[in-house]
Structure 1
Amino acid sequence: MLRTQMQRIIMLFAIVFVMLPLTNVTAAEPIDEIRQLIKDHYIDDVPDSVLLRNTGKEIINGLDPHSEYMTKQEYEAFINGIEQRIVGIGVVLEESENGIKVISVIKDGPAFKAGIVPGDIITHVGDTSLKGKSVQVAVPLISGKENTYVSLTVLREKTEKPINMSIRRAEIHLPTVESEMLGGNIGYIRLNSFSTDSGKEMEKAIQSLAGAGGFIVDIRNNGGGYITAAQEIAGFFPGVEQAFQLREKNKKPEIYPSVYQKQKIDGPVSLLVNEYSASASEMVAVNLKEQKAATLYGKNTYGKGTMQSMYAFNNGSVLKMTTARFYSPKGIAVDKVGVSPDVKTLVNEELTTAHYDQLVMTLKGYKAFPTLEKVKTTKTFTVSMTKDMDWRQLGKNAVQLIEIGGKESSIRIEVKDGKTIEVIPEYPLQSGKKYMLIIHPAWKDKLGNGMKHGIYLDVTVR
């Protein structure tokens, strides 16, 4: 045990932050305390050849990639990242062999406007190489004062030469939770981080989507956050009473409950994941999959099934150290294997696939007609019936045109004759997009006989 009193505060990135004000260490590096913490709490045994290294960073470099000894400034930048408080260029990063990899780019931020894309590897900041450097080292170099510039060298897949660019830093405003109603009355919620306000923001998002027939929850590119936020998010899903299982050093496995939420997500749920969904995102994903509370769409997740504790010292430095591995409540492993989706999709087709499937679920008894391929953006749809119709019964919701992965398109209906109408989009269709045209069985012929079933057909736009 440490000779000094410790106060532990637990949180998760699949992280546990343990805030430990320690005795009289003010300026000198608390090397002895670091060694003792590793002996007592690090998830695996560490050889003396590592523990006897001269500095805290040298010792931590001998542990797993998710352990780190941070200065006060590095720690503040780390926390700001989780809480979505960012002054910089607007990217989410991870370590890579040749530098620091960009795993997501904040929409409309400086990096987005400069053309940075997920998968890019930042090899240099100015003349400083990032090869072998941690994210905690890279962040202070890339970030800085608002309206100043940073020069980056970027490697991009399928691009032979490095790309040099200068990007102006800015304050990034990224909400923790974003939401909107998609076409067909499907609620869409994007969770960007598991931060301190994620639970409250999630509740607001669900309330704003009242009446939704189904939900799509998007945790793609979400690198994690606090363990308590993962417990809170799990509580919004009906029937999910347990959040995860933790296995710490020399302790029995312990199952942690979800946080009860009065507000629930009703209806079918699709959960979007990709290879950059990590840590607390995977904690939620493996749980919902195990409990059959959601259908997972996308790619296999990152595979970070470890939890880190944060120990803060009086000199302002912080030790982030892996102290546990997490599993699903029933014991499904995540570390180094990730969470596999129920429905594998192509890259960037997670949302459209999930939206399409949810729409089809609402159309039971409808007949699927052949797809209209590569129509013009100015396409007008002609609907012909076999009998003379009483078009006075034609309501405004009898026909829907829905962009897959987007909203319902505004249309107007013109009667051509007793058997034919035209469905005319109010605005041009989007090139490269896919739509669904739905004709609901709401019409009657002139003898008062109703349609036996509705129909739907897919439309692709060239």
Structure 2
Amino acid sequence: MRKTSTLGVAAVFGFSVAIAINALADKDSAPNATDVQSTIPLNELRTFTDVLTRVKADYVDPVSDKTLMDNAIRGMISRLDPHSNYMDKSEFKDLQETTTGKFGGLGLQVGMKENIITVIAPIDDTPAQRAGIKAGDKIVKINGELTQGLDLEKSVKLMRGEPGTKITLTIVRDGVDKPFDVTIERAIINVKSVKARMLDPGFGYIRIAQFQSDTTEQMHDALNQLIKDNDNHPLKGLVLDLRNNPGGVLQAAVGVVDTFVNKGLIVYTDGRDADSKMSFKAHEGDMLSGAPIVVLVNGGSASASEIVAGALQDDGRALIAGERTFGKGSVQSIMPLSNGGALRLTTARYFTPSGRSIQGEGIKPDVEVHQLKIADIEKVFSIKEADLAGHITNPNNNGKGDKAPKEAPIKQMINTDGKPLVESDYQLYEGLNLLKGMAIVAKRDAKHTGS
């Protein structure tokens, strides 16, 4: 039996499954027969046999041995944790097909939360994102069929289908009184991992939607292009956006961190199996030459995204801003079985350089920034000193009243959707402000050091 490690969150549909090839060394992992015999729980097996016999003899309808054994295996594995599961031959074939990304899907990553199919993150530029699906949404029906009682794999299979066909999801969302339906047309999902643009002169922006095998190379190309767009001058700072990034290839996450740090540990994994104990270290070279970085995260940032955020935070290389991340700190191995099926089994936990396990905890941002609605933004920016009762007058007004002089209009940063950045993406707006402040401090410190 051979195994491959994965860092994706729960089940994936509508885009390539993130497989970290060779993240765990392939080996013949069949246990030693003598060791197995010495640990066989005979009393428990007698109970299992008794139950099996009773069901076969007395259940209201006949049930095949294969169905009973499949159900027993699924029950055993599914009760371990939300990310371990058993796949029969057909399901394993489906998983292998997803690695090509050439099938109809929605562009979602989902998991089980309190036995409800829950959206971990919608993926950029996919039907699900365009339909307004959000991280944290609970899918309670698929085409009118209740998802309660369905396991993750069956729910995912229902949501897949031919490109161009439509599916209706019934959603329960926090803050919305009633469940509501969203109809989405399936499509071939080909996700572009990295996008980049200039936010302001000298300040770049890179968005990583998910970690694919070529993400590090794509990011290097993006950084070089940003420098060209900055008249071939070094960047003053970078916003790295990992919001709603559900994870992906381990080596890609390591490569992204290695792009910005010169030395030290990036991440390590630890489990019972010797091959699950790995560590990854940085190499000399920082493509930003020490320029400040702000990393944006939220509750949809998971797995490999958390590796990046945690490593840069521990190193002190970046300021993490946004909301606490998802908290998936485990590694799954895909183990093919003799019947043509496979086992997806949690085999290790990963840790940040300082030894933090983010499993169930997530990465806490250095600066907490929530995504505000326009009404909230107006409240934040509408109150001025002159609005406060009893404020003292401005002596420069020559006794002509206490109104502040008319200010020159502030240049509005326009987002890609044509709206002011402060309205369309408040977290990015604040991230840019933090980055500018960090750049000023870095410039001042460099000046003092030079003197």
The TM-score range, normalised by the shorter chain, is 0.5 to 0.7
Aligned to 2:306: 282
Q: Is the 2:138–2:171 Cα contact (8 Å) retained in structure 1?
A: yes
Change in Cα spacing, 1:156 to 1:250, as seen in structure 2 (3 Å) is closer
* AA at the equivalent of 1:281: S
Paired residue secondary structure (1:150): strand
Is 1:403 the counterpart of 2:413? The answer is yes
Aligned partner of 1:13 among 8, 11, 32: 8
Paired residue secondary structure (2:174): coil
* AA at the equivalent of 1:219: L
Aligned to 1:154: 171
Aligned to 1:65: 82
Q: For residues 123 and 240 of structure 1, what CA distance do their matches in structure 2 show?
A: 47
Aligned to 2:131: 114
Give unpaired runs (5+ residues) of structure 1.
1-5, 24-32, 40-46, 354-370, 375-385, 387-398, 408-426, 439-462
Aligned partner of 2:244 among 218, 221, 224: 221
Aligned identity (percent) is: 29
Change in Cα spacing, 1:250 to 1:429, as seen in structure 2 (3 Å) is closer
Is 1:249 the counterpart of 2:272? The answer is yes
Aligned to 1:195: 212
Q: Is the 1:203–1:263 Cα contact (8 Å) retained in structure 2?
A: no
Shift in Å at residue 315 of structure 1? Answer: 4.5
- CA RMSD, aligned part only? 4.2
Aligned to 1:174: 191
Q: Which has the higher mean CA deviation after the structures are superposed, 88-97 or 209-218?
A: 88-97
Q: For residues 262-312 of structure 1, what are the alpha-carbon distances to aligned partners after superposition, in whole Å with 9 as ceiling and x for unaligned? A: 662331011111122111211222111111111100111111111111112
Paired residue secondary structure (1:124): strand
Q: For residues 260 and 107 of structure 1, what CA distance do their matches in structure 2 show?
A: 31
Change in Cα spacing, 1:232 to 1:71, as seen in structure 2 (3 Å) is farther
Q: For residues 398-445 of structure 1, what are the alpha-carbon distances to aligned partners after superposition, in whole Å with 9 as ceiling and x for unaligned? A: x993517x48xxxxxxxxxxxxxxxxxxx9968947889x9xxxxxxx
For these two proteins, the number of residue pairs brought into alignment is 355
Q: Is the 1:238–1:265 Cα contact (8 Å) retained in structure 2?
A: no
Paired residue secondary structure (1:203): helix
Q: For residues 421 and 237 of structure 2, what CA distance do their matches in structure 1 show?
A: 25
Aligned to 1:413: none
Aligned to 2:108: 91
Aligned partner of 1:124 among 138, 141, 144: 141
Change in Cα spacing, 1:75 to 1:252, as seen in structure 2 (3 Å) is closer
Is 1:54 the counterpart of 2:69? The answer is yes
Change in Cα spacing, 1:309 to 1:261, as seen in structure 2 (3 Å) is farther
Change in Cα spacing, 1:34 to 1:239, as seen in structure 2 (3 Å) is same
Change in Cα spacing, 1:97 to 1:372, as seen in structure 2 (3 Å) is closer
| Aligned 1:229-248 pairs, distance under 5 A | 229-248=252-271
Q: Is the 1:298–1:344 Cα contact (8 Å) retained in structure 2?
A: yes
Q: Which has the higher mean CA deviation after the structures are superposed, 52-61 or 140-149?
A: 52-61
Q: Is the 1:95–1:133 Cα contact (8 Å) retained in structure 2?
A: no
| Aligned 1:244-393 pairs, distance under 5 A | 244-249=267-272, 254=277, 256-258=279-281, 260=283, 264-266=287-289, 267-313=291-337, 315-347=339-371
* AA at the equivalent of 1:298: G
Shift in Å at residue 123 of structure 1? Answer: 0.8
Shift in Å at residue 147 of structure 1? Answer: 0.8
Shift in Å at residue 141 of structure 1? Answer: 0.7
Change in Cα spacing, 1:261 to 1:135, as seen in structure 2 (3 Å) is farther
Shift in Å at residue 94 of structure 1? Answer: 2.1
Q: Is the 2:89–2:341 Cα contact (8 Å) retained in structure 1?
A: yes
Q: Is the 1:104–1:221 Cα contact (8 Å) retained in structure 2?
A: yes
Q: Is the 2:7–2:249 Cα contact (8 Å) retained in structure 1?
A: yes
**More helix by percentage:** 2
With normalisation by structure 2, the TM-score equals 0.66
Shift in Å at residue 218 of structure 1? Answer: 1.2
Aligned to 2:440: none
Is 1:137 the counterpart of 2:154? The answer is yes
Change in Cα spacing, 1:144 to 1:313, as seen in structure 2 (3 Å) is same
Change in Cα spacing, 1:141 to 1:340, as seen in structure 2 (3 Å) is same
Q: For residues 428 and 219 of structure 1, what CA distance do their matches in structure 2 show?
A: 21
Shift in Å at residue 372 of structure 1? Answer: 8.4
* AA at the equivalent of 2:246: G
**More strand by percentage:** 1
* AA at the equivalent of 1:147: G
Q: Is the 2:7–2:330 Cα contact (8 Å) retained in structure 1?
A: no
Paired residue secondary structure (1:190): strand
Shift in Å at residue 114 of structure 1? Answer: 3.4
Shift in Å at residue 342 of structure 1? Answer: 0.7
Shift in Å at residue 159 of structure 1? Answer: 2.8
Q: Is the 1:69–1:319 Cα contact (8 Å) retained in structure 2?
A: yes
Q: For residues 194-213 of structure 1, what are the alpha-carbon distances to aligned partners after superposition, in whole Å with 9 as ceiling and x for unaligned? A: 22111221221121111321
Q: For residues 164 and 195 of structure 1, what CA distance do their matches in structure 2 show?
A: 32
Q: For residues 299 and 132 of structure 1, what CA distance do their matches in structure 2 show?
A: 31
Is 1:104 the counterpart of 2:121? The answer is yes
Shift in Å at residue 254 of structure 1? Answer: 4.7
